[in-house]
């Protein structure tokens, strides 16, 4: 079974692989594998809906010994309103603003341009890897090949904002009414729109575009926490909140 087939099977059956079993020689090879896994998902009825951006802070880059962010493609299967833990392997949780692209974004667009071309929603992202004991032990190439360990994304109402509205804002994550994490938008490459700009450039280098209708989960305000059953609330200054339940 090829590397692509192994990863897709691990994803489809929720049967994680051992770390180190896949032969992935480079970051470019890992992105090529990611593309081929996405093709298998699409062949089996899923629809490519968006991207997540990972490693947008120095702290998270250091965890995986990376000098840059990375991205992963996400499908309609990953867009959720509620989460069932049984559908995942080792799910974590991050606070992330979600950009909904209304006009095509180009690498040369400024952050202000990007804010005009997108609406932004309060969101939360569930990283989950197709490997046993993946966090924080997976290699960078394993993470990329696995679609940047995308598990799920939840987001609320999207509205238009200018650059200043997201500049240095606070995010607060609560579980069953108790605050468990706080973070700042400055953790996301200084500003979440800068992460979207990075993604536009990274995609263009591989012949891809950020087209209307695509969503972008732009990067985490906080180091991930284990996902548990209960009710979560992710609140953002100037943007609002999203609330969702996690069941067993």
Class of domain 3-247: alpha beta
Domain ranges in the chain?
3-247
Question: For residues 49 and 76, is the Cβ–Cβ distance under 8 A?
Answer: yes
**The pLDDT of residue 1 is above 90:** no
Question: For residues 71 and 215, is the Cβ–Cβ distance under 8 A?
Answer: no
**The pLDDT of residue 19 is above 90:** yes
Question: For residues 149 and 139, is the Cβ–Cβ distance under 8 A?
Answer: no
Mean pLDDT of 206-226: 96
Query: pLDDT value at position 216?
Result: 98
Query: pLDDT value at position 62?
Result: 78
Q: What is the C-alpha separation between 55 and 220, in angstroms, rounded?
A: 8
Residue 66's pLDDT band (cuts 50, 70, 90): confident
Q: Which residues pair with 124 in a beta bridge?
A: 95, 154
Question: pLDDT digit string (tens) for 117-143?
Answer: 999 999 999 999 999 999 999 999 999
Structure token digits, residue 184: 């700042």
Instruction: State the CB neighbour count (10 A cutoff) for residue 5.
Output: 12
């Amino acid at each position: 079974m090829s590397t692509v087939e192994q990863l897709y099977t691990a994803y489809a059956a929720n049967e994680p692989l051992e770390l180190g079993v896949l032969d992935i020689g480079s970051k470019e090879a890992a992105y090529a594998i990611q593309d081929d896994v996405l093709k298998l998902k699409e062949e089996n009825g899923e629809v490519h809906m968006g991207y997540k951006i990972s490693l947008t802070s120095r702290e998270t880059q250091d965890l995986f010994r990376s000098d840059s962010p990375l991205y992963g493609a996400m499908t309609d299967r990953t867009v959720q309103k509620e989460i069932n833990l049984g559908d995942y392997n080792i799910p974590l949780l991050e606070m992330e603003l979600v950009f909904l692209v209304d006009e095509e974004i180009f690498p040369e667009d400024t952050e202000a341009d990007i804010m005009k071309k997108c609406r932004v929603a309060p969101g939360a992202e569930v990283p989950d890897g197709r490997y046993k004991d993946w966090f924080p032990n997976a290699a960078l190439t394993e993470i990329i090949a696995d679609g940047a360990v995308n598990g799920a994304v939840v987001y609320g109402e999207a509205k238009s904002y200018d650059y200043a509205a997201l500049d240095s804002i606070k995010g607060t994550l609560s579980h069953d009414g108790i605050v468990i994490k706080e973070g700042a938008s400055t953790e996301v490459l200084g500003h979440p729109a800068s992460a979207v700009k990075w993604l536009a450039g990274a995609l263009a280098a591989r012949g891809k575009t950020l087209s209307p209708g695509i969503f972008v989960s732009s990067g985490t305000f906080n180091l991930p926490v284990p996902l548990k059953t209960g009710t979560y609330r992710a609140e953002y200054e100037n943007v609002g909140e999203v609330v969702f339940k996690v069941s067993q």
